[in-house]
Structure 1
């Protein structure tokens, strides 16, 4: 690899980044502990990378809850539950509206003492994987069910007379306040559950990965990844349900009913009127629970649209699958081919081993294959299902404020921090309780508009991929496997256009294959409808829920992501070439350019405009 030029050895410091015009005072929108302490110097010392993989757009104040809960709970399982020898948690801050992370290493002298406790705790999980995972599903589902049961309604003109007779002595306002507190707690609870198994999935794969690197010097990273591919993942079920519904629609001759899927009532009415329509509608309704608790986003933002609430989205995907079926295309994932390729590679490498090494290989690969699906499956249960219910309940609460004149739109609640929502809630119940007008209607409308303008200004500036001087070596396994933040990759980011010398964009060789095609640059899930058949998707990052799009495209290129990122895993499971962690593809490549993607070498070339 070309040596890094001295002038490019560091990324900008946080204090050096310009504030977009109109975004002055942005720090006041977020909790005090989430912004850098100006003047302390600490923010200009540590290496930070932008987690645009999970949070690709600017946070509104309330939306920081996802970042706070996710990163805190990830850390607790590293540092307090599993006692991972080499890795504590990840420090995180918001800068100019984007989330930045800094891995916290374990001092070398403390590592040996952590190993026995780590082995004891991890051993318990791996020895009881199936039963513990089933308990996990029950815990998560119970949390979701309780969250669904919460209700938020405007307070009545007077308490019911029955409350007088019963001596209840409460006015119902406590239900609103307790319900809000419980909603936050339940969300937090499922985020704690989220990481109970996730780090174990990465650890099992990393252990197998490290073993393969040791006994097979020079083995490609992709060969190791292929040895656990082709598994059945619940994250693919929503997309698979749509494919089955499209296949059923073709079998029943219902294609014409899907002419205008933006008209949801009209589409379903046309289906109902057709012969065989009732059979299809029954299947459609059966698929919704739970698989329509799915968003085309990633669940971290209040504006993410969920299938269950926006059925034009799944109906549109079904319409496209119908079109492809009529053209004779194969719409199912090539699972049999993936399994055959997996078994072939496993067999070839097994033949190189014997005795104890072979036994270790089989045990480690088996454990990695068992734990591997959870790396993606948790997304459905937490990011999609849990967060879909959570955002729906937040909007339900916001409707109470809208009716009381606090703000104009249910989504306006996102411009308050969750602490401010609690304060506004007491303002509302206090004004109602004493029979006077609350302060909120005179304060929040103008304040929300001020904040909206700041957020809009922050959105005009893309985030820096990293801040400050990177360490000589990046060793934290989670950072490397999930985000693709490796020593070599960071050096490539720093080298920029000079890296490689031939103008190629380089990144992680995440999924094998070489293709050429027309680029489609996507920076938001709202642009997915623009993706055309056989284009190459170029994105800041993809979401696990973009499955229906992966059936149309020829390859994927992303700015961030490692071998175990969602984009890499999904592309391997769909048999598509992928280059991840380029740092700059979405800002360098333009829609309409012809590009070549070499997922085996981690290279992307711009061939022509």
Structure 2
């Protein structure tokens, strides 16, 4: 009998076949985002993992702006701004339409020289956190305001007479091109601001985490995470606003207007006819700015739907909350319970330390708690609010170009790269300026259809989770804490780790044990299918899925570590969670009965019914 040797590596991106009918997919993306043949030897020396936590879908060409801006700006704050001693940035590539990442190591001999400048630079932010964060809010909101002011009207037949008589000397195409440049620049600006604080938030937590591991040998990762739980994050505010509106509907005697499954228009029409309905509608309208700048996706794709653009989304959650509030159910997160548990476990560990070590423990804990809320807060201001306005304006531009005959469907612009969009805009401007037909209407429609077919072919297959040969031991803290890519998980993917039998193993991300029926969700459009008490199983959850956390009993994801959004949100909602299982969404099917042990990181399949 011939024995098959265990695998020691994953496929190379250069050997991984593309889906049928996806030939030529590389040409859809900028040259620097795909694996180049002349760099095969260099790129194959690197370990790449698929970041399906942030980018779970195939990119249309224009949508690469999110990964380009986000990961580039994330990287720059490590070696260029703060000189974080053990961390550089992350390289990224697109392969078969999906995003792959590879952390850039800091040579050990360079780490000592970065310590002193890091202490000076990061220390300034830690010492002035509140005032600098207040300044940050002003910068971010100013950028959003500028984004809101951008518009893309159709070009007029002739310039206004006032432009001639005033001697302006410029035509509307100057504004058209300038507004597109502003759109891109404003997006880039707020992604710069995004990481001004985020990396330091992770650093403070990881410093506290490392200290705890040193002075409390054997302390579970989850115990450390519990010491900073019970946060008051802006990210929870949109969901809290919906709960307040549901409670108000009950208090005003309007529950009959909120039948589950009703759309926003019918609910509002019924409420308007009810006594005191005007009070509820006023509260509904007041909540929208800014809290409806929220998406059920993650903000990285042009197709993400935002509450303010589709009021049926928040109204659907309100209808569900209203039914539950009418029965006397407490809709709010168990903050008191979380804080009590946080203080209990903190006190127990603190008492184990001698006075000097206890002082260090309390100092590091205090800093971690101060900066920790930003780890989630930034999502609302950037991924949700900024990107919501950005995509809305981009769709406005796409519709204008569609009306000018450049493509067949209103949102087809996203099959172009942003450089190609500017080229098409100048094509439009040239045709308008010289009084001739632009070239784009005879070129782009068929080219977009070709690209659409390629994107659809790429979407037909899920991505390979990792590429090339993994390191013997994965120690890079962000890879472990944020993504849940651990030595043990990689071993399971290779088939050399522990056999979990009728279950899976992942990160013990949020404590507690429950049994229930699985509901496998692969996208936000399926959230309405979730029934009360089910266990949510997904490749990854978005931070904005908070409104369904009151219905589910536990969460299981394919990717994500202790500091992933799924883990943080589950701890704040008091739900058991196992993250980073690698394959839960493909091994589990809806209706299976599961036992989720979020304290030990195990998922047991009890039966397959």
TM range (shorter): over 0.9
Q: Is 2:57–2:459's contact at 8 Å kept on the other side of the alignment? A: yes
1:501: how far off?
4.9
CA gap of 1:150–1:501, structure 2 versus 1, over 3 A, is closer
Q: Name the stretch that deviates more: 442-451 or 319-328.
A: 319-328
Cα distance in 2 for residues equivalent to 1:365 and 1:116: 22
Stretch of structure 1 that moved more, 166-175 or 58-67: 166-175
Shift of 1:388: 0.1
Q: Residue 400 in 1 paired to residue 389 in 2?
A: no
Q: Quote the Cα distance in structure 2 between the aligned partners of 1:198 and 1:126.
A: 12
Unaligned runs of 5+ in 1: none
- Equivalence map 1:507-522=2 (5 Å): 507-522=506-521
The answer for the alignment partner of 1:448 in structure 2 is 448
Give matches, 1:326-337, under 5 Å: 326-337=326-337
Aligned to 2:554: 555
Contact 1:90 1:103 in 2 (8 A): yes
- CA–CA separation in structure 2 for the residues paired with 1:513 and 1:446: 54
Instruction: Give CA-to-partner distance per residue, 1:161-184, whole Å, 9 cap, x none.
Output: 111111112111100000000110
- 1:558-569 matched pairs, under 5 angstroms: 558-569=557-568
1:200 pairs with 2:200: yes
Q: Distance in 1 between matches of 2:339 and 2:499?
A: 35
Offset, 1:499: 2.7
Say whether residues 1:500 and 2:499 are aligned partners.
yes
Report the TM-score when normalising by structure 2.
0.98
User: In structure 1, how many angstroms separate the alpha carbons of the residues matched to 2:120 and 2:214?
Assistant: 24
C-alpha separation in 1, matches of 2:339 and 2:495: 38
Assess, with a 3 A threshold, how the Cα gap between structure 1 residues 256 and 597 changes in structure 2: closer, same or farther: same
- 1:375 corresponds in structure 2 to 375
User: Aligned to 1:88, what secondary structure does the other structure show?
Assistant: coil
- Once residues 216 and 325 of structure 2 are traced to their aligned partners in structure 1, the CA distance between those partners, rounded to angstroms, is 43
- Which residue number in structure 2 is paired with residue 303 of structure 1? 303
Looking at structure 1, the residues matched to 304 and 352 of structure 2 have their Cα atoms a distance apart, in angstroms, of 49
Query: What is the root-mean-square deviation of aligned Cα atoms in Å?
Result: 1.2
1:305-332 CA distance string (max 9 Å, x none)? 0000000000000000011122332211
Task: Compute the displacement of 1:8 (Å).
Answer: 2.2
Report the counterpart of residue 23 of structure 2 in structure 1: 24
TM-score (norm 1): 0.98
Partner of 1:607: 606
CA drift at 1:62: 0.3
* Cα distance in 2 between the residues matched to 1:262 and 1:399: 29
Q: Deviations over 1:470-514 (max 9, x none)?
A: 112222222221111222222233227x63353321111111111
Question: Mean alpha-carbon deviation: is it higher for 555-564 or for 478-487?
Answer: 478-487
Matches of 2:286 and 2:408, distance apart in 1: 36
Listed one character per residue, the Cα deviations across residues 93-146 of structure 1 (whole Å, up to 9, x for unaligned) are: 000000000000111111111111111111000000000010011100000001
> Does the C-alpha gap of structure 1 residues 501 and 165 become closer, same or farther in structure 2, counting only changes over 3 Å?
closer
1:429 match = 429
1:436-487 superposed Cα distances (whole Å, 9 cap, x missing partner):
1111111111111111111111001001111010112222222221111222
Q: Give the aligned partner of residue 288 of structure 1.
A: 288
Give the equivalent residue in structure 1 for 2:122: 122
2:472 aligned counterpart, secondary structure = coil
Distance 2:554 2:49 in 1: 25
Distance in 1 between residues matched to 2:63 and 2:500, nearest whole Å:
41
Query: Which is worse superposed, 466-475 or 313-322?
Result: 466-475
Residues matched between the structures, number: 604
Partner residue, 1:217: 217
Maintained 8 Å contact 1:85/1:114:
yes
Q: How far, CA to CA, are the matches of 2:500 and 2:384 in structure 1?
A: 42
Other structure's SS at 1:16 match:
coil
Q: Distance in 1 between matches of 2:515 and 2:437?
A: 64
Task: Note closer, same or farther for the CA distance 1:58–1:478 as it changes in structure 2 (3 Å cut).
Answer: same
Q: In the TM superposition, what are the counterparts of 1:171-210 in structure 2 within 5 Å? A: 171-210=171-210
Superposed counterparts of 1:307-318, under 5 Å: 307-318=307-318
Q: For residues 440 and 597 of structure 1, what CA distance do their matches in structure 2 show?
A: 54
Q: Unaligned 5+ residue runs, structure 2?
A: none
Q: Distance in 1 between matches of 2:159 and 2:580?
A: 58
